Chains A and B, each alone.
Chain A
Amino acid sequence: MSDKNENIKKAREEWEQGLLQKTLSRFPERENIHEQRIYTPLDVDSSPEYYTEKIGFPGQYPMTRGGQPTMYRGRLWTMRSYSGFATAKESNERFKYLLSQGVTGLSVAFDLPTQIGYDSDDPHSEGDVGKVGVAIDSLEDMEELFEGIPLNKVSTSMTINAPAAVMLAMYQAVAEKQGVRPDELQGTVQNDVLKEYLARGTYIFPPRPSMRLTADLFAYCKDNIPKWNTISVGGYHIREAGSTMTQELAFSFANAIEYIRSAIEAGLNIDDFAGRISWIFTADINVLEEVAKFRAARRLWAKILKERFGARKPSSWMLRVHTHTSGSILTAQQPLNNVVRVALQAFGAVLGGTNSMATCAFDEALSIPTEESATLAVRTQQIIAYESGASEIIDPLAGSYYIEAMTDKIEREAEAMIGEIEAMGGAVSAIENGWMQNEILSSAYKYQMEIEKGERTIVGVNKFTSDVMSDVTLTMMDPTVRETQSAKISALKKRRDNAAVEKALEALKKAAEGTDPLYPRILDAVRAYATEGEICNTLRDVFGEYVAVKLI
């Protein structure tokens, strides 16, 4: 140990045995708090190469301090607001409103039937049409959704997974009609099916054919929609399902490793697509931990891409993160408290260096956001950006003994967990066995029991409660969307060239049964105004449907 550290060690011992002891003997520390009370240089690697090799500079391997050299000094993170509900027309109005309020990217929420490849008039869709997002049944709806919004001027993030190719094809077709070329399009499709099996439930096909669809979309975009982020791997949903922070990283990374393997097997070169992989993580409310998490994630990902997959382009090593503040920790009780929670979460994500962010509205636990609450969510980001100073210094918390020690710890633990999953045969195996699902449930259950036993405080829920019911105006759901959409579909089916639709679906079926690319056939079907349900049912016939693993 160096002389400097020797001195510190001695000084710490003195303090612990002297002043600290005296205080502890008078009153103990609070219960259920972080174990280590204070961090010193002793908790951080003191070797001379530590800074250059592990911390480094933004935009350079290992990316710990950020993905871009100037970070927010050059360009603020993309501010998004996740929205969509009811019909395409209403959602279009909300998009235009948000754009006018300073949002720099659109984030589309689709309803559950659309996410699961069912048309609004399908019996499965009963009760769910237009509820958690917008109902998109055909190209006609997509045209309405983006009416008056120039697709070469916005970046659009679409939260769509199993039928991602269908939605992207529709978006591309809308752009065509606007005279916008595919290579001008910017945005993301979530397209991360593995986490659907784990945490979100909007899967359609079984894992292996789903991997084919994923790689298929990568391949098409590489040549035709090169600015498009073809996947947004989710740690967010895994965390929201109740996982720990380490699991959020380890499980999502393990999933991403499977996608990469799949793409490489399909013949792609790592540097051809790795730069288009993006991520979505949670920002939980433990601000400092979250900062360490983002830094650890960037460093670990860069290491995996460089050392394991041999990626050579820095853009391949870069972890591009969209953060969505955690919705599951927001409470129905005393909803205004959530304004504070979201602010803290967003602050942590900014200090952590996120590239893009969507903040929850405070009424999240009650209903979908009103115009007012959605606006406040955007203002939260704007205040942090323009008033708090956090966006003016790059990676400001670096060098904090706690932050660096925590960053190292998270990286180590996540790496070990990924190793465990790989030893099982990789994420697909771990999912088929139900291992990941059970780990998540254990963590979720533990968390809930901590709350119920009082070991974990949630203000307004198990402490500082009040009987006063908050008077919050909520968005009322429109129950007539299913009818409206069903009528629309009927009319569409009468108007369109049904022979062309059938031909296109036939071609898609053949491609699915063989090994030909699927996206181009999906695009043809979309242009012919085949409905999403028709396209997905064609694929269901070939690929089958996923059946959930038993709860152990």
Chain B
Amino acid sequence: METPGLPDILIERARAGSRRAAARLITLAENDPAQRLEIARMIYPHTGGAYVIGITGPPGSGKSTLTDKLAKLLRKRNKTVGIVAVDPSSPFSGGAILGDRIRMNDLALDKGVYIRSMGTRGHLGGLSVSVGIAAKIFDACGCGVILVETAGVGQSEVEIAGTADTTVVVTVPGLGDDIQMIKAGILEIGDILVVNKADRPGARQTASTLLAMRQLGEPPDREWIPPVLLTSADKDEGVDKLLDCIGAHRVLRQISRSQRNERTDRLREEVLALLKEKIADRVLERHGLPGELELVLGDMYDRRINPYEWVAQKAASCTR
């Protein structure tokens, strides 16, 4: 049985092509915040080259098929591709069935594709942090493009969209979900809107609805107006146009101020969060606060001690 490798050994092996090492790194990073920071620090010099594309949409929209076809097209263009596929975890058990790979069987043996499936729960620091570190690890292994596929339900999509350079929102005709998605604010995060399964009746109507809705929500000074594309992913139709569109978005961002601003904002958020995490933990430990809290918790419960006052006192004394 293998002993869990130290991060630097794993990183070396991952970069040398060991899939096992790359996968182990992601697990380590997901589960241990201390390891995550170490890993992020060590792989940093090898990252920065990957372009992250988020693909989101309601169940049944064909996202996994679209992701599969995009990956294949990118492979034809000689890119090494990383795929992170996120599926909802059960709110009751915390478990999940991660089934996106079923549509990506052809890619399983492709040496130029890395795939990781994740559930939405159980991520210390949040889902987007785990997705983020997985993407960085793939980046460090040489992936030029990273596709992040998410389930399109709930907050996580908006969160993850923050980590993507281009976000593609996928819908299908006839499910009535265009209204749902507008309510959830999903459309606002989309840089490109796709109507998949466009061979079905109602495709053009759905596209028109999206165009109309988009018109309503648009801030006037937006540099990029999200286009609406039609695809039939299972027939491999429209996927090349989608990829070209993503390319165009990428170019625009490179020359625009907003990309720099956005990425700077993201970086600030990420670093502040890490700082808070690391520093807070250290300060709390050094002052023995978690231990102290245990002792007074009973009194707090019985309302003999005001918890808010206690916090104010402790904070003041720690930061004197």
The complex places the Cα of A252 from the Cα of B97 at a distance, in Å, of 28
Among listed A86-94, A455-463, A543-551, interface-contacting one: A543-551
Q: Does B270 contact A (CB under 8 A)?
A: no
Measured between beta carbons, the chain B residues less than 8 angstroms from A434 are 60
The complex places the Cα of A285 from the Cα of B227 at a distance, in Å, of 58
Given known A547-B65, A547-B103, contact A552–B59 (CB-CB < 8 A): yes
Interface hits, B29-86 → A, CB 8 Å: 59-60, 64-65
Measured between beta carbons, the chain A residues less than 8 angstroms from B64 are 550
Q: Is the beta-carbon distance between B97 and A551 smaller than 8 angstroms?
A: yes
A521-552 interface code vs B (CB 8 A; 1 in, 0 out): 00000000000000000000000000111111
Q: Which residue of A lies closest to B236 (CB)?
A: A544
Given known A433-B60, A434-B60, contact A550–B234 (CB-CB < 8 A): no
Measured between beta carbons, the chain B residues less than 8 angstroms from A551 are 97, 99, 102
**Size range of the chain A interface in the assembly:** under 10
Q: Which residue of A lies closest to B60 (CB)?
A: A433
Q: Which residue of B lies closest to A425 (CB)?
A: B174
B109 to chain A minimum Cβ distance, whole angstroms, is 13
The complex places the Cα of A434 from the Cα of B172 at a distance, in Å, of 14
B69 to chain A minimum Cβ distance, whole angstroms, is 11
Measured between beta carbons, the chain A residues less than 8 angstroms from B97 are 551
**Size range of the chain B interface in the assembly:** 10 to 19
Q: Does B100 contact A (CB under 8 A)?
A: yes
Measured between beta carbons, the chain A residues less than 8 angstroms from B100 are 550
The complex places the Cα of A550 from the Cα of B58 at a distance, in Å, of 13
The complex places the Cα of A396 from the Cα of B148 at a distance, in Å, of 62
B105 to chain A minimum Cβ distance, whole angstroms, is 8
The complex places the Cα of A423 from the Cα of B60 at a distance, in Å, of 17
B87 to chain A minimum Cβ distance, whole angstroms, is 9
> Of A548, A549, A550, A552, which is in contact with the most chain B CB atoms at under 10 Å from its CB?
A550
B7-35 interface code vs A (CB 8 A; 1 in, 0 out): 00000000000000000000000000000
Measured between beta carbons, the chain A residues less than 8 angstroms from B234 are 206, 547
Q: Which residue of B lies closest to A433 (CB)?
A: B60
Interface hits, B148-205 → A, CB 8 Å: none
Measured between beta carbons, the chain A residues less than 8 angstroms from B65 are 547
Q: Is the beta-carbon distance between A548 and B59 smaller than 8 angstroms?
A: no
Interface hits, B103-145 → A, CB 8 Å: 103, 105
A286-311 interface code vs B (CB 8 A; 1 in, 0 out): 00000000000000000000000000
The complex places the Cα of A549 from the Cα of B99 at a distance, in Å, of 9
A196-207 interface code vs B (CB 8 A; 1 in, 0 out): 000000000010
Interface hits, B243-263 → A, CB 8 Å: none
Q: Which residue of B lies closest to A552 (CB)?
A: B59
The complex places the Cα of A206 from the Cα of B97 at a distance, in Å, of 25
The complex places the Cα of A434 from the Cα of B105 at a distance, in Å, of 18
B72 to chain A minimum Cβ distance, whole angstroms, is 13
A544 to chain B minimum Cβ distance, whole angstroms, is 8
The complex places the Cα of A51 from the Cα of B97 at a distance, in Å, of 51
Measured between beta carbons, the chain B residues less than 8 angstroms from A433 are 60
The complex places the Cα of A206 from the Cα of B60 at a distance, in Å, of 17
Q: Which residue of A lies closest to B99 (CB)?
A: A551
> Of A206, A433, A434, which is in contact with the most chain B CB atoms at under 10 Å from its CB?
A433
Interface hits, A166-216 → B, CB 8 Å: 206
Measured between beta carbons, the chain B residues less than 8 angstroms from A548 are 102-103
The complex places the Cα of A25 from the Cα of B102 at a distance, in Å, of 55
The complex places the Cα of A283 from the Cα of B100 at a distance, in Å, of 36
The complex places the Cα of A548 from the Cα of B68 at a distance, in Å, of 13
Measured between beta carbons, the chain A residues less than 8 angstroms from B99 are 550-552
The complex places the Cα of A522 from the Cα of B97 at a distance, in Å, of 42
Interface hits, A432-465 → B, CB 8 Å: 433-434
The complex places the Cα of A348 from the Cα of B105 at a distance, in Å, of 43
Interface hits, A373-410 → B, CB 8 Å: none
Q: Which residue of A lies closest to B65 (CB)?
A: A547
The complex places the Cα of A549 from the Cα of B234 at a distance, in Å, of 11
A201 to chain B minimum Cβ distance, whole angstroms, is 13
The complex places the Cα of A547 from the Cα of B97 at a distance, in Å, of 18
The complex places the Cα of A433 from the Cα of B65 at a distance, in Å, of 13
The complex places the Cα of A452 from the Cα of B298 at a distance, in Å, of 41
Measured between beta carbons, the chain B residues less than 8 angstroms from A549 are 102
The complex places the Cα of A271 from the Cα of B100 at a distance, in Å, of 44
B84 to chain A minimum Cβ distance, whole angstroms, is 16
A397 to chain B minimum Cβ distance, whole angstroms, is 43
B4 to chain A minimum Cβ distance, whole angstroms, is 31
B57 to chain A minimum Cβ distance, whole angstroms, is 13
The complex places the Cα of A75 from the Cα of B307 at a distance, in Å, of 87
Interface hits, A27-60 → B, CB 8 Å: none
The complex places the Cα of A434 from the Cα of B64 at a distance, in Å, of 14
The complex places the Cα of A551 from the Cα of B102 at a distance, in Å, of 8
Measured between beta carbons, the chain B residues less than 8 angstroms from A550 are 64, 99-100, 102-103
Interface hits, A198-251 → B, CB 8 Å: 206
The complex places the Cα of A525 from the Cα of B249 at a distance, in Å, of 52
Contacts A548-B102, A550-B64, A550-B100 known; 6 new A-B pairs at CB < 8 A: A547-B65, A547-B102, A549-B102, A550-B99, A551-B99, A551-B102
Q: What are 22 pairs between A and B in contact, CB < 8 Å?
A: A206-B234, A433-B60, A434-B60, A547-B65, A547-B102, A547-B103, A547-B105, A547-B234, A548-B102, A548-B103, A549-B102, A550-B64, A550-B99, A550-B100, A550-B102, A550-B103, A551-B97, A551-B99, A551-B102, A552-B59, A552-B60, A552-B99
Which 6 pairs from chain A and chain B are nearest by CB?
A: A551-B99, A550-B99, A550-B102, A550-B64, A548-B102, A433-B60
